[in-house]
Every structure is written in structure tokens, then in C-alpha cells.
Structure 1
Amino acid sequence: MNRIGLIVSTLLLLVVVAGSTLFVVDQRQFAVVYALGEIKEVITEPGLKIKMPPPFQNVVFLDRRIQTLDSPETRPIFTAEKKSLVIDWLVKWRIVDSRQFIRNNGVDMRHAETRLAPIVQAAFNEAVTKRTVREMLATDREEVMQEVRKNMAENAKSFGIEIVDVRTKRVDFSSNITDAVYRRMGSERKRVASELRSTGLAEGEQIRADAEKQRDIIIAEAYRDAQKVKGEGDAKAAAIYAAAFGQDPQFAQFYRSLEAYRQSFRGRSDVLVLDPASNDFFRAMRGSSGAAAAPRK
């Protein structure tokens, strides 16, 4: 039995030792093999690999995928106009030289990002201080990102990494400047609104004055035309009257007397105090003999 137990223990030990010598490299990883604390081999091809058992050799895995580094904090950057801007950025990077990466940063990816962040921030500072606010917000934004990426290329080699891309997520004024800008924009909009209202009132008054002028002109022209038509009508009427009355003067005189009576006695309460015998106004009422009718008793 002791012999069987020894054989089983030996087999288990061989299995453990064999298991410690085998490892799998994923296609998303680098495998770095250490031999007594020194880098012996960097394996980039995926698959099943063999190494010596610990403590003779150890293996460490590094992520070979593209990593994203976001700006850790928003620090204001001064432009060429001495205006303070806040820039949020991100950097895409990946390991291309695992030996160099481990020598400078160890195997902790976060340690590398901690060292890389201030270098990116310094590159942005250098690019922004040469430009105005307008250039940063509009015209030179893409150029700034390319310049930062170019400046980062040399530092990236010492890190054993490659800078894949640099992007700005947000470019804005700092909070105190933003409030001042908003207040200035509000004042400017109010000034423009007041100018527009003043211009509108002036144009409204001008339109009303022109309309009143046109109205007075139209009324005057209409009155002139009406008086002209009326005068022509009166002239034609007078000509007709003259032609008609010329045929019988006595009838014309009688007709005019009736018109005079009609105009004089418009109301029932109208009273005229005259001497019928000595006044020609009542000649038409005296009859054909011209003598006044004797009053009834």
C-alpha cells in the first residue's frame, strides 16, 4: 500500500508540475516570461505555451488592445489672448513594445496612465497657448489634436506604447468667465432688441404719417372732383332752368315765388310779420288782379 501511495503522490506531483509549465496566451494579450526576475521572452502569438515551473520562470499577461485615457481633471489653460479655457480630452493608446513598457512602468496599466496624463496635459497647454479662443473653438481644433499627437509620439516610445488617436471632448470657458460671457451676451441681446424696437416704432410712425398724408390727399382730390362735378351739375341745371323759364317768364316768376314760400315756411310755428299790401313777397298770393284778398269776418 505504501508503494501505491507513493506512486499516486508522484503522479500528482508530476501533474502539478506539468500544469505550472503550461499556459495559454489569448489573442488579446502579450505574455511576458520572467526568469529569476528578468524578462526572458515576450510571446505575442496566441496558443498553448510551455515554460519552466516556478520559481525558475513566471509569466505576466499584458492587454494588447487599444486603451482609453480620459483627462483626469479639468485644469484651465490660457490662450494667446489670456482667456481661460477648460478642455476635456481623451487619448487612445496601446502597447507595442512590452519589454520597454515593463521596464518603465511595470506591469500595472494604471501606473502607466498616471504617468502619461500630465504629459498629455502639457502637450495641450503648449498647443493652446499659441492660439486664440476663436481658433480653439472653430478653425484650429483638428490641428491642435494632430499637434498634440505628434508631440506625444516621442514620449510614447519611451513608454513602449503607440498613440493611436487624440480627441477633445469639450472646449469651454471656465465657470467664472462663462458667467461673464453669458451676462455680456444677455446685455448685447437686450441692446439689439431695444434697437429693433426703436427702429420698429420709428418705421411705424413713418408708415402712419405716410398713410395719413395719402388719406388727406385722397380726400382733397375727392372733394375737388366732387365740387367740380357739382359745379358742372349746377351749371347744367341753371341752363335748363333758364331755357325752361325763358319760354314763360310769368310762370318762372310764379315758380320762384312758390320756392321762396317753401323755404320760408318750413315749420308750422314759423311766423312772418309783413304788410301784404305794400310787400311784393306775397304778390303770387294776391291773385291775377294783384289786389290782396279781403279777410273773412
Structure 2
Amino acid sequence: MSSRSLFVSIVILLSLAIASNVLYIVKETERGVLLRFGEVVDADLKPGIHVKMPVMHQVRKFDARVLTLDYTPQSYLTQDKKPLIVDSFVKWRIKDVSKFYTATSGDEIAASRLLASRVDDGLRKQFAQRTVHEVISGQRDELMDDLTVKLNQVVLTDIGVELLDIRVKGIELPERVNEDVYKRMRSEREREAREYRSRGRELAEGIRADADRRRTIIEANAYREAEKIRGDGDAQSARIYAEAFSKDPEFYSFVRSLKAYQETFSADSDVMILDSDSDFFKYLGAPKTKQ
């Protein structure tokens, strides 16, 4: 290697060494602070390439993504003094870099401990204000949302982190509490079932009574209409008979007699004893010829 090549290599190495001590990069997924002899001079370094003074300046970078803090299950007492084993986790991220560095010295483990302590106190207070039934049967989401809003202001002021969400993965009951809770839940469901059945019977009675009333009205209207139609038919029949009788009384009398014969002698065993001169047989004799 020539002396010129050696000199160029040395210059490049020196340049790289100086650049590594003077230049630094903050990634999009990071937040950072610039320190001057341990004092914060830039509390929120933007992503990109920056310049610092060697020895005088120091850069601390932290993860700016959403982080998860998974707790070990803890025991909490409810309002009715029943213990619950709660398994929960927290979603958080760094919001105020300067405050975060001041409170934790940039140690993520220390931040997790501080955050866990405050969340634990918040959960303990929230569970102490509710019964077992309220926690298990439907107020869990309300509890978590309320706690997230309240604790977010606290941890942002104290630690410089934003609390995004607190969620319960599971709630376990100690063995001695299980049976009492299940009995209470069972009695609640039975009470609701009785209310629904009672309401159903009441509605059914109302529907039946209305149906009976409607049926009575329909039958009465139908009977009235039928009687009216029957009366009109009888009137027309009587009128037709009257008109027919008035046109040919003799023929009408003959037809009526034939009908009477048919009804009287409908069976072979029927016997009648009448005088042969009776009007009943006047159409059975020999026809009279007109002179």
C-alpha cells in the first residue's frame, strides 16, 4: 500500500469516527432527548439526522411505539368484601419525553413499575366501589373506561406517559365465592323469567278477551244479517206464492195436494182411514169433464 493510500484510509477512518461522535439518527419509532452534561437541552428530538458535540452532549433514545404492560393476576376486594383474582394488561406509550426521562431516568422497567403501582391502586379503588355481580355481569367495560380516563391524567403528569387502554383478560372467583355468586345470578335469572312469564300471561289474557269480544260481535252481526236475509226470502216466497195462487187458484190447490200426497204416502207402512168423499182425495178421483 502506498503512503497516499494509507493517508486516505486514515482520513476516512478519522472522518467516520468523528461522524459517529458528531452525528446521530433518531428513527420514526423512537423519541429522544439531548443532554448537555446531564441537563436536558432538547426535550423532543424529531426523527432524522442530528448533530451533537462530542463529550458535551449525550443522546438518550426511547421506544415511541405502543407498549404493553402485562400484570400478574392480583387479588382485589369488591364492595361486598368478596375477593376477585383479576388478570389485566395496559397499553401505553411515551408522551412527554422530558418528563419521562426526569421521572424514570429513561429506564423502561422503572416506568413500568411506577405505572403498575398507579394502575393497581386505581383498580383496587374501582373494584371496592362495585359488587361482584356488577363487576361480572356488565359493568366491566364501564369500569375500565372510567379508570383509563382518570389514570391517564395522573400518569401523564407524573411520568410523562399516555395511558391508552386498561383491559381485564379474566376475573376468577375464589372457590368459596363461586357458589354464592352462581346462586345469586341464578336467582336473578329466575326472577327475570318469572316477570317475563307473568307479563306474557297478562298479554295472552288481553288478547284472548279481545278475540272473544270480536267473535261475539262478528257472530251477532252475522246472525242479524242472516235473519234479515231469511226474512227477505220468506217475504219474497210468500209474495211469489200469493201471486201464483191469485193467477190460478185451482192449479195451486192441485200442486199443494200432490205435495201432501207425496209426504203422506212416503212410506209403505203408512195407513190413513178417511172418508172417500173427503176433500183430501178430490184430485184422485175421475176427472170432471166440462159440459
TM-score by length of 2: 0.56
Supply the AA of the counterpart residue of 2:135: M
Q: Does 1:41 align with 2:42?
A: yes
- Structure 2 distance, partners of 1:133, 1:107, is 39
- Structure 2 distance, partners of 1:62, 1:38, is 17
Deviation at 1:144, TM superposition (A): 0.7
Supply the AA of the counterpart residue of 1:130: Q
Rg bigger for which structure?
Answer: 1
Supply the AA of the counterpart residue of 2:136: L
Cα displacement string for residues 192-248 of structure 1 (whole angstroms, at most 9, x for unaligned residues): xxxxxxxxxxxxxxxxxxxxxxxxxxxxxxxxxxxxxxxxxxxxxxxxxxxxxxxxx
Aligned to 1:16: 17
- Alpha carbons of 1:4 and 1:79: their partners in 2 closer, same or farther (altered >3 Å)? closer
Aligned to 1:92: 91
Aligned to 2:259: none
Deviation at 1:3, TM superposition (A): 10
Q: Does 1:165 align with 2:131?
A: no
Q: Does 1:129 align with 2:128?
A: yes
Deviation at 1:140, TM superposition (A): 1.1
Q: SS state of the match for residue 30, structure 1?
A: strand
Cα displacement string for residues 242-282 of structure 1 (whole angstroms, at most 9, x for unaligned residues): xxxxxxxxxxxxxxxxxxxxxxxxxxxxxxxxxxxxxxxxx
Aligned to 1:56: 56
Alignment of 1:52-201 (within 5 A): 52-53=53-54, 55-71=55-71, 73-157=72-156, 158-178=158-178
Supply the AA of the counterpart residue of 2:40: I
Q: What fraction of aligned residue pairs are identical, expressed as a percent?
A: 27
Contact kept in structure 2, 1:79 and 1:132, CA below 8 Å: yes
- Structure 2 distance, partners of 1:139, 1:7, is 73
Deviation at 1:153, TM superposition (A): 2.0
- Structure 1 distance, partners of 2:79, 2:9, is 78
- Structure 2 distance, partners of 1:175, 1:74, is 16
- Structure 2 distance, partners of 1:176, 1:56, is 63
Deviation at 1:18, TM superposition (A): 2.1
Contact kept in structure 1, 2:78 and 2:129, CA below 8 Å: yes
- Structure 1 distance, partners of 2:149, 2:5, is 68
Deviation at 1:100, TM superposition (A): 0.2
- Structure 1 distance, partners of 2:107, 2:177, is 39
Cα displacement string for residues 163-216 of structure 1 (whole angstroms, at most 9, x for unaligned residues): 1111111112124534x569x87xx9xxxxxxxxxxxxxxxxxxxxxxxxxxxx
Contact kept in structure 2, 1:29 and 1:44, CA below 8 Å: no
- Unmatched tracts of structure 1, length 5 or more: 189-297
Contact kept in structure 2, 1:34 and 1:58, CA below 8 Å: yes
Contact kept in structure 2, 1:76 and 1:174, CA below 8 Å: no
Deviation at 1:2, TM superposition (A): 9.0
TM-score by length of 1: 0.55
Contact kept in structure 1, 2:76 and 2:83, CA below 8 Å: yes
Aligned to 1:243: none
- Structure 2 distance, partners of 1:171, 1:85, is 7
Supply the AA of the counterpart residue of 1:112: A
- Structure 2 distance, partners of 1:88, 1:15, is 50
Cα displacement string for residues 92-120 of structure 1 (whole angstroms, at most 9, x for unaligned residues): 11111000000001111111001111211
Alignment of 1:260-279 (within 5 A): none
Aligned to 2:224: none
More deviation, 83-92/73-82? 73-82
Contact kept in structure 2, 1:105 and 1:159, CA below 8 Å: yes
Deviation at 1:42, TM superposition (A): 3.5
- Structure 2 distance, partners of 1:3, 1:64, is 46
Deviation at 1:124, TM superposition (A): 0.7
Q: Does 1:32 align with 2:36?
A: no
Q: SS state of the match for residue 107, structure 1?
A: coil
